[in-house]
């Protein structure tokens, strides 16, 4: 079995621990080094907890010639780590959103294509079996002509750098819109033509970013998608997040509820809560990437997918600022 070498650039994203776990579980994956420029704090913790080698620069990790690097920094620092990896002609798996500005998105796509660097955005929700079943139902014609989609991707307010716009690029819109935008783009095989967003700060007075949001996007064939991407899962909720889709066709409908596979538990210490027992979409994504390297295939998800979903979030902020529907074409961009 061919070993696939992986480097880690950045450890501040909450999904870092998840992806490390998935890589460690895959017998073909070898994590050659981990680095972050936070003076060793997060990187050292992860390295010591998982028996990994902490490195002191991105170049030190890249000198070990990994097959690809995993970028898990704050959102606005993705471009920084991308440049390190691109200079070394190393393939990249980048946490979402791929970038928070059109200029950064353009650079990442153009440089990776020019230099034949594989660039993938982390979208594990594509692996959810209920989403795949709904997609199959739609494409088989069982739903008839799709009229619209009602979606939610709510979560808890994560705090930390997620609420610092210079690091996050925004609030709940930047955090949660791109996942559903990617699922819709993947389902429909196209990108939205326009976006309208209504956002506010309602739940957390100390924030400088939005914590509640309703984002609507319209596709070329008239399909209308509404998304609640709010940080509205407070401590009172038995689970910290959700992901739901309701597809409405003129012959039928289909529902996706990712966290429905949960048991309700009662604990003297925690009270009542839901315990998720369903599939591990993150493991499926990581395993798919490793298998692609072993077979000589391409990444299962592309940088262009990440580009198109990030443009939806960027358009939402333009809509919020100008209080109107914004066409994606108004943002410019070269892809």
| Residue ranges making up the domain that contains 98 | 4-122
Residue 22 scores a pLDDT above 60? yes
Q: Cα dist. 89→69, 83, 262 in Å?
A: 11, 10, 43
- Write down which residue in 97, 122, 147 finishes a domain: 122
Residue at 115 is within a domain: yes
Structural domain contains residue 8: yes
Q: Per DSSP, what are the bridge partners of residue 71?
A: 9, 94
Q: Is 273 in a helix, a strand, or coil? A: strand
Q: Which CATH number goes with the domain that contains 36?
A: 3.40.50.720
Extended beta strands in 184-290, E state = 194-200, 212-218, 224-228, 244-249, 253-257, 262-267, 271-276
Residues 25 and 101 in one domain: yes
99 and 148 inside one domain? no
Please indicate, yes or no, whether residues 259 and 145 belong to a single structural domain of this protein: yes
Regarding whether 147 and 265 lie in a shared domain, the answer is: yes
Q: Does the pLDDT value for residue 44 go beyond 90?
A: no
The reported pLDDT for the residue numbered 235 is 85
| Average pLDDT over every residue of 262-286 | 94
* 240 and 216 in a common domain: yes
Choose the final residue of a domain: 103, 122, 141.
Answer: 122
> Do 74 and 156 reside in the same domain of the chain?
no
pLDDT surpassing 80 at residue 41: no
Give the CATH number, domain containing residue 242.
3.30.360.10
Mean pLDDT of 244-266: 96
How many CB atoms are located within 10 Å of the residue 39 CB? 8
Give the count of domains, the chain. 2
Q: Are residues 323 and 190 in the same domain?
A: yes
Contacts of 197 (CB under 8 A, 6+ apart): 173, 213, 214, 215, 216, 316, 317, 319, 320
Determine the pLDDT at residue 317.
98
In this prediction, residues 121-141 reach a mean pLDDT of 97
Report if residue 205 sits inside a domain: yes
Same domain, yes or no: 8 and 117? yes
In a domain, 202, yes or no: yes
Chain segment 176-193, per-residue pLDDT in tens = 999 999 999 999 999 999
Residue 237 domain-assigned?
yes
Is residue 316 included in any domain, yes or no?
yes
pLDDT in tens, 47-104: 888 888 889 999 999 999 999 999 999 999 999 999 999 999 999 999 999 999 999 9
The mean pLDDT of the chain is 95
Query: Residue 194: is its pLDDT beyond 90?
Result: yes
Q: What is the DSSP letter of 243?
A: -
- What's residue 43's pLDDT? 83
In a domain, 238, yes or no: yes
Whether residue 187 is found in the same domain as residue 40: no
Same domain, 110 and 183: no
- pLDDT over threshold 70, residue 292: yes
Report whether 325 contacts 319 (CB < 8 A). yes
Q: Domain check: are 11 and 36 in the same one?
A: yes
**How many angstroms separate the CA atoms of 291 and 92, rounded?**
15
Query: Is residue 39 predicted with pLDDT exceeding 90?
Result: no
Decide: 258 and 278 in contact? Cβ < 8 Å. Answer: yes
Does one domain contain both 117 and 257? no
Please say which residue of 70, 102, 122 terminates a domain. 122
The per-residue pLDDT for range 198-242, each reduced to its tens digit, is 999 999 999 999 999 999 999 999 999 999 999 999 988 999 999
Kindly state whether residue 55 falls inside one of the protein's structural domains.
yes
Q: pTM (2 decimals)? A: 0.96
Residue 40: pLDDT over 80: no
């Amino acid at each position: 079995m061919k070993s696939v070498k992986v480097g880690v650039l950045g450890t501040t994203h909450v999904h870092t621990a998840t992806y490390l776990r998935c890589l460690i579980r895959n017998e073909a994956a070898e994590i050659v080094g981990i680095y972050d420029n936070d003076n060793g704090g997060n990187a050292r913790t992860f390295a010591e907890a998982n028996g990994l080698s902490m490195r002191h620069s991105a170049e030190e990790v890249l000198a070990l010639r990994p097959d690809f690097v995993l970028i898990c920094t704050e959102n606005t620092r993705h471009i920084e780590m991308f440049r390190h990896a691109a200079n070394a002609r190393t393939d990249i798996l980048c946490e979402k959103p791929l970038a928070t500005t059109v200029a950064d998105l353009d650079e990442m796509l153009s440089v990776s294509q020019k230099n034949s660097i594989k660039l993938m955005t982390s979208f594990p929700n594509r692996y959810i079996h209920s989403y795949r079943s709904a997609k199959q139902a739609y494409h088989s014609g069982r739903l008839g002509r799709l009229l619209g989609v009602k979606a939610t991707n709510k979560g808890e307010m994560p705090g930390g750098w997620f609420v610092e716009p210079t690091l996050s690029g925004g609030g709940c819109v930047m955090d949660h819109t791109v996942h559903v935008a990617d699922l819709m783009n993947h389902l429909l095989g196209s990108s939205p033509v326009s976006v309208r967003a209504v956002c506010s700060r309602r739940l957390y007075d100390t924030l400088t970013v939005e914590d509640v949001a309703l984002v609507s996007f319209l596709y070329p064939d008239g399909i209308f998608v509404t998304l609640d991407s709010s940080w509205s899962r407070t401590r009172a909720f038995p689970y910290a997040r959700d992901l739901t889709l309701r597809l409405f066709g003129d012959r039928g409908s289909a529902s996706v509820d990712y966290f429905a596979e949960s048991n309700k538990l009662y604990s003297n210490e925690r009270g009542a809560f839901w315990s998720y027992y369903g599939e591990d979409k993150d493991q499926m994504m990581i395993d798919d990437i490793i298998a692609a390297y072993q077979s000589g295939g391409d990444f299962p998800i592309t940088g262009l997918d990440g580009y198109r979903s990030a443009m939806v979030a960027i358009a939402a902020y333009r809509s919020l600022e100008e209080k109107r529907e914004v066409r994606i074409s108004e943002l410019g961009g070269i892809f």
